[in-house]
Structure 1
């Protein structure tokens, strides 16, 4: 950002806005937290290894647990130190998170449209609290899986609601910059849970890792008591005066909000973010953007209308395909299973490496956030896929031939490559590949494809990994599959995904004339 742009950004951002963003982005943070929470303590939770508390933390742990174990009426002895699970059972527990996320993502759009962004965020924090409590107190596979479902519902909903809320409270000139906060918060959550897992993966201490989710969710729930409803949502539902007061408070006493509020009336024009993230035609019609500038209503198409129409089908295939590619290239094989997968294969403790991976993921995401606007969406996707494919190939070979240092480097390159394009770009494409009449249905399809692909990796990766290792001997064979998927993904992006950088609308992207129904 240029110095003048930076100064303008500082002038546009009030301390109150920073507070709102800090509280709201605790939602995406919890998405990352729950996505990776079982990674570090996997072997301890599933009773595969018995890890005593290290001498560094043993006395502190003994002091802490003594307060909960001495009274006969308040004891943790009823909770087992671990829950016996094989690879398939553990995969089921892990993948339940993605099924909950699928449901939460689909349900959150209509709720946030009809009842407001604030209530929807409060409901997500409630789901996070319930899910974390069930997981923390879980004494069986069923309870752990049930907790993961509740946490997943909250995570799926927050990926829809929080980016929408941020887009509606952030200054218009800085919406792109603040939009990156969602992905950054997810990576912060991953880093937190991996770090906690490193220190608390022993005895029954892993329950404190899961219990930390209760604290984060409760903190967000309390923080939301001071968060106002989205001004855009208030205006769209007829409360323009309150919307203006809220926006003035967010912007600051001396900020001129006239330009932002000029379209707050019945025929206002909607932002692409609102229609793309909500995915609900009737609900979106109530927002600024349900009508054209001339006041003519825009018809919103359903999913089956879009998929049957050859006019929209290429865009739907491109957007859904890229969202699936994001997960099928295998990044969550590292985020969710790296500690167990890489144990005894690398020259350093796999839990330490996982913390380093999470830190690099965060740093790379921040550093690469300007690239899609500079290099182009398609270029970033191809660079990212090539990086992950090459890293997966070298990782497989280095594990097979026991080149441990090279394996560690390739794991880091594998994750860093994700941040170049596959991390941020898929979430941009739906609103850039189709017109506003079809963007809601397309975004819903993309979101569903993403969670299905995440479920496939979470459920079947550990099973296939063990099967290949037993069949072929050694380890690392599964990453040849990710190499092949990367090749196929690169071909798909090259042939089916157009460049959207610098294009004003979907018709310019596809080089066609707008059809008038």
Structure 2
């Protein structure tokens, strides 16, 4: 769900890209923006229930207009319920079933996009997102909320796989890092947008309009995609040589002959046996390129164990407890301004993500990951103490710090490391496996947190702190340094 591509080339080449093929043209810029809006959809849906869940679930009643009954509002006149009665377990299920859809969408996304193209896949994902969002907006029952959340989860799970594929394939040489990092940045912008929309709309009369915001984003994205050309590399991989040249010429600018020369280089790459696009893995249980074979292969055991711990552990450190339930946590001590504080926490997340995207590839992986994880452990512990002892200011300050230190390392690095510690022929399967682990971890936290938090209160963050501490020890002992890796797979794991 968090995917940052290399920015090393960006830092060395971005200053003076002189040739047409290295320019960021208007057409290419437009295409990148359109693709990145899909990531905004993901971020929006991830946190759309954060602010309104108390009024949505009938746990609180915030009447914006005294003396003006709900039945007289536009929503009330059309049969929309003022709220949908939900207990803590049901809130957890509605929130977490987004992840069930996400697993399904991300698992089949590459195969679907390789068959039907990046553009068509994105159009279908936007359409599914519109349908799912409308179901959520129109929901008057617990079951319909779940159905809508699963559908938007499938769409978003597919989008965050398809979008990096498209961006990677259209990005000019020297721009891959910055353009690739747009996925992560736009996910955080989506979370921020949700919290911004929630500021004026989180009350017992207008909370549905927060959910309707995702419909508008998906519709906008859908129509914008019609003006974007298909990935030229995908076109060439499917034998559509002329279409690939035309698409590349429109996206990159320059002459048709310049585009033809670059396409010719791609053809040579294909003829030499190198894949031009992300290879499709087998979706069946058995097969030479299946996930099941990857799980059974004992030669992958050490790298697979690291991927499992890092991708599950990232979620079990509690980040999505804040992203999904931050308003409820803060409202325990500061109910009047909980939504506003959550908005500013999301803003910090965006700013740190942008900074990290530019700097992370110039830093060593292991020290940064360990530092981030240790600081997450410390800040989570202090947050737990602050909740238990009603220290409002302490909770707010360390919520900001927690978000910052998590974003600087524990957020992006597991997704970078999981490719770098795997054998070249296993990178795609390793990435698929790690993504599934991360989705499952998110599901577990999303489902269990409301229940555990009501029982343990701040002690749940002390549990997160202990988990983060254990992960730090695991990183120190088991995770190799992979920056500028030159050693072979066997040499990396020889002493571990």
**TM-score (ref. length: structure 1):** 0.86
Distance 1:336 1:502 in 2: 36
- CA distance in 2 between counterparts of 1:89 and 1:137 reads 18
Compared CA separation, residues 274 and 329, structure 1 to 2 (3 A): same
Query: What is aligned with 1:22?
Result: 33
- TM-score normalised by the chain length of structure 2: 0.90
In structure 2, stretches of 5+ residues that fail to align are: 1-9
2: distance between equivalents of 1:452 and 1:205? 32
* 1:45, distance to aligned residue in structure 2 (A): 0.1
State how far apart, in whole Å, the 1-side matches of 2:394 and 2:276 are. 44
* 2:459 equivalent to 1:456: no
Cross-structure match for 2:7: none
Contact 1:368–1:420 (CA under 8 A) maintained in structure 2: yes
- Which residue matches 1:190? 191
Shift of 1:371: 3.4
Identify the range of structure 1 (337-346 vs 103-112) with the bigger mean alpha-carbon deviation: 337-346
Q: Indicate the SS of the match to 1:25.
A: helix
Q: Where does 1:34-49 land on structure 2 (aligned, <5 Å)?
A: 34-49=45-60
Contact 2:234–2:277 (8 Å) recurs in 1 = no
Q: What residue number does 1:373 align with?
A: 361
* Other-structure match for 2:98: 97
Matched residue, 1:263: 266
Partner of 1:476: 458
Q: Pairwise mapping of residues 257-406 of structure 1 onto structure 2 (< 5 A)?
A: 257=259, 258-259=261-262, 261-265=264-268, 266-268=270-272, 270=274, 274-275=278-279, 279-280=281-282, 301-346=289-334, 349-406=337-394
**Equivalents in 1 of 2:348, 2:402: separation in Å?**
11
| Structure 1, 180-189 or 77-86: larger mean CA deviation | 77-86
Give the aligned partner of residue 507 of structure 1.
489
The residue aligned with 1:7 is 16
In structure 1, how many angstroms separate the alpha carbons of the residues matched to 2:340 and 2:282? Answer: 43
Report whether the alignment pairs 1:466 with 2:427.
Answer: no
Residue 5 of structure 2 corresponds to which residue in structure 1? none
Q: Assess if the C-alpha contact under 8 Å between 1:435 and 1:505 holds in 2.
A: no
Aligned positions of 1:2-151 closer than 5 A: 5-8=14-17, 12-53=23-64, 68=74, 76-151=77-152
Distance 2:112 2:383 in 1: 44
For 1:272 and 1:392, the matched residues in 2 are separated by: 44
Distance 1:215 1:370, change over 3 A: same
Q: Which moved more, 1:98-107 or 1:171-180?
A: 171-180
1:79 Cα shift? 1.0
Aligned residues of 1:392 and 1:483 also touching (Cα < 8 A): yes
Aligned length: 477
Distance 1:170 1:138 in 2: 40
1:52 Cα shift?
1.6
Matches of 1:271 and 1:172 in 2, distance apart? Answer: 18
Greater shift in the superposed pair: 336-345 or 80-89: 336-345
Q: Between the two structures, name the one with larger relative contact order (CA 8 Å, sep ≥ 6).
A: 2
Task: Report the equivalent of 2:240.
Answer: 239
Return the alpha-carbon distance in structure 2 between the equivalents of residues 506 and 85 of structure 1. Answer: 53
The DSSP-based 3-state class of the residue aligned with 2:278 is: helix
Provide the C-alpha distance between the structure 2 equivalents of 1:26 and 1:230, rounded to a whole number of angstroms. Answer: 17
What's the CA shift for 1:484? 0.8
Give the CA deviation at 1:201. Answer: 0.9
Deviation sequence 1:121-143 (CA, Å, 0-9, x none): 11110111011000000001101
